[in-house]
Every structure is written in C-alpha cells, then in structure tokens.
Chains A and B, each alone.
Chain A
Amino acid sequence: MERNNKLFAVSALFNTPNEIISAASKTAEKGYTKFDVHTPYPVHGMDTAMKLKPSNLGFVTLGFGLSGTGLALMLAYWTMNVDYPMNIGGKPLFAFPAYVPVIFEVTVLLATLATVIGMLTFFFKFPSNSHPVHDTNFMKAVSMDKFGVIIESEDPLFNEADAVSFLESLGGNSIEKIYYPVKEAYPVFDKKFIGLQISIALVVAGLTYVTLNKAVYIQPFSWMTDQFRSDVQASSTFFSDGRSMRLPVDGTVARGFMPYEYSELTTQPEKPLTNPFAPSKAFLELGKKKYETFCSPCHGNYGDGDSRLREQFPNPPSLHSEKVRTWKDGNIYHVIVNGQNVMPAYAVQLNDEERWAITSYIRVLQRAKNSTEEDVKLVRKEIISNVAQ
C-alpha cells in the first residue's frame, strides 16, 4: 500500500500475554491515552490494564429503546383511540395490556437497530472501512502469534523519539513506524463497488422472482385455493345436466319483485289496473322526482314533448293529448312497464310505487295545463293563506 510521510503511530511487538498486559498497563500509567493493543485472541483483563472506560454504546441502545417504547405507545394510542376507534370485545379503547407486546417488540427492534447502526457509524466511523495499521508487518504479526502495542501520533504526549525509546524500555521488539496510506484502498462509496452491489441485487432479485414465480412455482399453502366446490357459471360433472348452478323452482319470485300480468302484452290491456295509492303530498313529490329523473329528458319538464334532447331523438307526443288525458291510470302504468313504440320499458329502473307515483304526477301536470276557473281560485286561496301565515 502506498503511504505518505505523515506518521500515524509507533508500534512494538511482544511475545506473551503477560508481557502485553504489563506493557499496556505501563503505557496507560505513563499517561498515553491514544494507544491501542492488538492481540491474536482476546486477552482477559486487557480493559483494566489499558484503563479503558466502559463503552458509551449502551446509552445509544437505552435512548433508542426508550424512544421505541414511547413511539409504539403513541402509535397504539393514536390508531386505536384517535384515528380509528374500534370496540374490540368490549375492551376499553385504551387497552394497555394489548399494547404491551407491540411496545415490547418496537422497543427491542429500535434498540437493536440503533446498536448496530450506532456501532458502525460512531465507533467504526462508517463509511471509512480501513485503518492505517492494515497491511503492515505489525498487523501480520499480531494476527498470527505476536502481541502488539501502538502509540498514536495524535496523542498529546506523543513525541516520536520518546515513544520509540519508551517502547524499547518496555522490552518491545520489531519497533515499526506506521505512516498514513495515501488513499483508502477500498472506499465504500466507490462507483464500481456500488454499481456491482446494485447489479448483484437486481440479478438476485430477478432470478429469485423468475425461479419462484415462473420456473418452479409452488403454492405455500393450498387450503383456501383448492376447494371441493363448483364455481359459479362453471360446468360440473356432478350434476346430470352439466351445470354447477341449480335452476330455481318453477314459480320462484325474486324478493321485492311484483309480477305484472300484462308484461308480455304489446297493446293496451282491455282491463287496466287501478291506482292503489292515494295522492298524498309526499307521494306526488316522489312522482315529481322520478318523472324529472326518468321521463323529462324526452317528455320535457311539463310533459309537452319539448325535451332537452330535441332534434337529437324522435320527439315523443305530448302527454296533454286527448288520448292520454282520457286514458286510465293503468294505461300509463302499462306504458311505463312495457314501453311503447320508441320508448323503452322502465320496469327495471322503477318499482311499483314509483310507477304509480309518476302516473299520478302526470295527472297533476295535465290538470295544471287544462285548469278551470275553480282550480285557479283554489290555488289563489291556497297562496293567500300561505302568505297570511
């Protein structure tokens, strides 16, 4: 590895664990704070010999764990009490015992993630992934059978000549000066490296998708998809007629359906039905509403046949003609149910009551168009009494 002239540390090697423990404690006693010890395996008692303080990582874990507790409690409270209050089994909305497992899990999750991420960033200084002692003879020795000490140049007491003679006085051998590398050998944010990672991720994801969904598709569970039942509209080998659906029994009537005896008749019936409803105000208002929705587009708001669709559609005849006025209610009803000439049937859109309501409303329109003197007097009287009130 290419190195520059800037000194990182002075290193020394020792042969036994006892020597390294005594070297570490003497270095710490001398007042050095920025020094490190490298051993091929963990040597017990090193922390106390080096006078290391306990790691602060525990506080990161504690802080994030407690924030997990708080966040999960707030999440549970907000979702179950504010956003979507739901009564579950008669329990109070703030059902704390039920929240506890969630709170516990989120606490553990945040604490664990924070510990790993905190360790990588604060303590391992991510994205830096190298150290000046890497790729030195010192590192080769301490990763095999030697025990080594380094005193870093950033230490306030550091002086190159002093450090070397101090390490010699401890009995260290192979004293080596370690210089900073010119550049990081394997930077994390390298274009090639990131590109390689992304392409590996894409290839693995693609292969996984193709393998699991196309090549060897295996259902994880089939309890719900494979069932011993016939599908709607599908053929069946179980029934002799080959249908999976059964035909209704003869004479079956759908709920809410009112049979109309002349529904097949294209001409007017000889004995039309009679209107079973009395023309109350609410009934006539229902008729007005339905008339304006379904009839007025062609017949016009007042039944004159002057619709909004004029010239785009054959105009229907006026509802105020002599023929319609002399018709019985049942005849109008018959036209609504069956249609007439170009007019389609409205049996599907309108139920029995609505058809009769429209019929009655047409009668209102007809009377208004051909009002007598007495009708006008009646209306005036009504208006005056309304104003007086």
Chain B
Amino acid sequence: MSHSDKMWVKKDLPVRVQNLGFLLLGVGLAAGITGLFIDAHRFMMNYLIAFMLLVSIGAGSLFMVALEYIAGADWSVPVRRINEFYAASVLFIIILAIPVLMNMESVFHWAQPQAVSEDKILKWKAPYLDTTFFIVRILVAGGIWSLFYSLLSRNSKTQDLTKDQNLTRKNIILSAIFVPIFAITVSVVSIDWLMSVEPHWFSTIYGVYFFSGSVLASLAIVTYTTVWLKEHGYLHPRMTNDHLFSLGALLFAFINFWAYIAFSQYLLIWYANLPEENFWFIQRWEGGWMIMSILLIVIHFLVPYSVLLSQPAKMDPKRLKFASLWILFAHVFDLYWLVMPSYHSEHSTGFFTYILEFGFPIAAIGLLILLFYFKTKKNNLIPIGDPKLDKSLNFRL
C-alpha cells in the first residue's frame, strides 16, 4: 500500500513565513490605526472590510471542508488540512467583531437612534436592525461556526493518531448537519454586516452573492498556499499537478458562479428599475464609482476567467499562483465596492482613496499567514490517518 520511499515527513515552515506574517500584520495595523486618527468613520468602514475578508475566508474554508466530506471527494484529502487551518479564523470572529460593535453608530446608519426616529423605513426595520439582536446574531453565527470547526478538526486530528475510519463517517454526518446551518448563518451575517451598511436597500440574492465571493476567496488562498507548499516540498511528494487541476477547476467554476449571481442581482434591479432598489447601483455609478464598477467586472470576472480558461492553465503552478493572488485581491476589491460607496454617499464626496486604506486588509492577510504558520507547527499538514489518503494520492485526471 504505502510507498516507503515516498513518505511524507513533517517539516516546520521556515521562520520567514512567520516574519512575513508579523510584518504584514504590523504594517497593516499601523497604517489602519493611523487612518483611524485621520478619519475615524472612514477607517471603521475599512476595518469592516478587513473583518469581512476574515469572515469570508474562514467561513468559506469551513464550508469547503464540509463540502469535501459530504461529496466524498478523493482528490482533496492531501490539501484538506490547508482549508482546515484557514477555517480556524472563525474562532476569532467574535473577538474581531468587538471594535465594530463598540462603534456601531459610526459604521451602521441604522444604529443611530436619531436617524431611525426620523425615518419611516428604518422604523419599520427596527425590530430586526436592533443593536442587541445584532450582537446576539453574530454571537450565534460565530459560535456555531466555531463549534463545527472544533468538532471537525478535533476528529481529523484524532484520526492522525488512531487511524479510526469511523471518525471520517462522523465528520461526514457533522458536515451534512453543518451545510444547511451554514447557508442560513452566512446569509444572516452578510445581510447584517454588509447589506445593512445601506439599511434602506435590500436584495434577496445578497447572501448568495457573498457566499460565492467567500468560497472564491478561500479557494484562492488555499490554492496559493498549496502551490507554494508543493513547490517548497512541504506537501506529500506523490502529489501531482492533477490535484492542482481540481483546485483550478473549482476556482474557475466559482468565478463563473460569482459572475452569474452578480449579474442576476444587477439584471433584476436594472429591469424593474424601482427607486427603492436601484439607488444602490446608482450610488456605484456616480462620482467616480463608475470606473470602479466596470473595473470590478474586469478584475473579478474577465481577467481570471481568461487566465484560467484553458485546461493547462488550471494545472500550471505559475498561472495558478498568479490567478489565486489576483482573485484574493479581487475579493478585497469587491468588499470595498460593497461597503465604501455608502460612506461616500453619506459624505457626498466623490470617489477617492487613501493608500492607508490598504492597511486593515493587509493586516488581515498577515493574521491569516500567522494563523496558518502556528497551526502547521502543532498539526500535520496532511491528514495522515485519513483512510482515503492513499487513494487520493493516486488521483489522476
């Protein structure tokens, strides 16, 4: 069964990964906090973007782990731990939410009692958009995600030692319970934390839109990490480019899925042209935002679509590295595009950006790198106890 000459040996990641993580975190936080002193409101919105980046990568990765268990995916076993490590960021969601929860009134228009009392629509929405209820919802969502993350990763970790096949079955059942709960919680969180930034607006497809972006972002970061680790010899030596192809194909699929959902949302609002819906897109078409909206289509769809279209591109490490970093940037850009026009409309200023606004997202990436680094120190990069590992390593297209 096992090829003793090609066994996986656990190696620690180089210290420069840790240094890079600390560097990005430090520089990002310094830039972001400096920004907070310049324009507190704007940089709280910026913090929200970085927070949602972490939520999307954490929740998206956790969803991918669950999906791979349910689907009985063979190819993904050697890279599943990478997903799992990034999913660990769901543990920090509640802590990271605290700065926003302390500045509710500056981030969320509906949290200002005066604004609500003057506004018929906000009054009607007040029972849902209520600060206490809002905190309860993020606690519940973060709690559920953390619980499922802990159970799934604990079972997987135990399996490394015991090689107990029943643990895989347990994880499949856990995943099957988790996925429908995830569908609800991710919708609630995206509606609460992104859509309610513009509390007068509503879109029923918003949860799916955020979900598509979040899975795309987590796939991108996992793909980049996989290619990097494979190139530097940290993954199983029997892994081939055929495994990368599956990641590339999933990336390509979710690029299309995101474009499909984004266009569906736009087409319906554009066609009906109702004033209570269309102002959201008009905000994103005026005062310099038009270029950003067109760029979003180019950056988030056309470029990665063209790069990943051909079959060789989906298994070429170089192009995959480029595409996954590009998509990660595109997701940050997407979140910026979702959040910031509301700030601009409130302050009636045209589009402009500070270089400091890159701070918080960079800090979030640094945090993810550190999280990954410390996870690999304590855990195996490959689920060596998984009964499907050998079959998975033989996976060929």
Contact = CB atoms under 8 A, between A and B. Distances in A.
A90 to B, nearest CB: 8
A259 to B, nearest CB: 52
Given A89-B273, A97-B267, A44 B396 contact: yes
Contacts of A258: none
B266 A97 contact: yes
Contact of A98 (B271, B309, B310, B394): B271
Contacts of A97: 263, 266-267, 270-271
Interface in B200-229: none
Contacts of A127: none
Interface string A60-104: 001000000000000000000000000001110000011011000
Interface of B: 263, 266-267, 270-271, 273, 309-312, 394, 396-397
A58 B311 CA distance: 9
A47 to B, nearest CB: 9
Contacts of B397: 44
A385 to B, nearest CB: 64
Nearest to B264: A101
B311 A54 contact: yes
B28 to A, nearest CB: 37
A45 interface: yes
B396 A100 contact: no
A68 to B, nearest CB: 16
A91 B278 CA distance: 14
Nearest to B395: A44
Contacts of A89: 271, 273
Nearest to A44: B396
Interface string A219-238: 00000000000000000000
Interface in A19-60: 44-45, 54, 58
Nearest to B269: A97
A372 to B, nearest CB: 75
A100 B310 contact: no
Contacts of B263: 97, 100
Given A54-B312, A58-B311, A89-B273, A45 B267 contact: no
Contact of B310 (A44, A58, A90): A58
Contacts of B271: 89, 91, 97-98
B266 to A, nearest CB: 7
Nearest to A100: B263
A62 B306 CA distance: 12
A53 to B, nearest CB: 11
B273 A45 contact: no
B396 A45 contact: yes
A138 B368 CA distance: 58
A87 B309 CA distance: 37
A104 to B, nearest CB: 9
A363 to B, nearest CB: 63
A62 B309 CA distance: 10
A89 B271 CA distance: 8
A294 to B, nearest CB: 54
Contacts of A90: 273
Q: Which 10 A-B pairs have the closest CB atoms?
A: A44-B396, A97-B270, A97-B267, A45-B396, A100-B263, A54-B311, A97-B266, A98-B271, A89-B273, A100-B267
Given A44-B394, A45-B396, A97-B270, 5 more contacts: A54-B312, A62-B309, A89-B271, A91-B271, A97-B271
Contacts of B270: 97
Contacts of A62: 309
A54 B314 CA distance: 14
Contacts of B396: 44-45
Contacts of B312: 54
A42 to B, nearest CB: 10
Nearest to B397: A44
A17 to B, nearest CB: 12
Nearest to A47: B397
Nearest to B394: A44
A52 to B, nearest CB: 13
Contacts of B267: 97-98, 100-101
Nearest to A59: B310
Nearest to B267: A97
A23 B270 CA distance: 61
B69 to A, nearest CB: 24
A132 to B, nearest CB: 30
A97 B396 CA distance: 41
Contacts of B273: 89-91
A226 B271 CA distance: 34
Nearest to A42: B396
A220 B273 CA distance: 35
A44 B75 CA distance: 14
Contacts of A44: 394, 396-397
Contacts of A45: 396
Interface in A283-301: none
B179 to A, nearest CB: 28
Nearest to A101: B267
A327 B394 CA distance: 115
A89 B397 CA distance: 50
Contacts of A98: 267, 271
Contacts of A101: 267
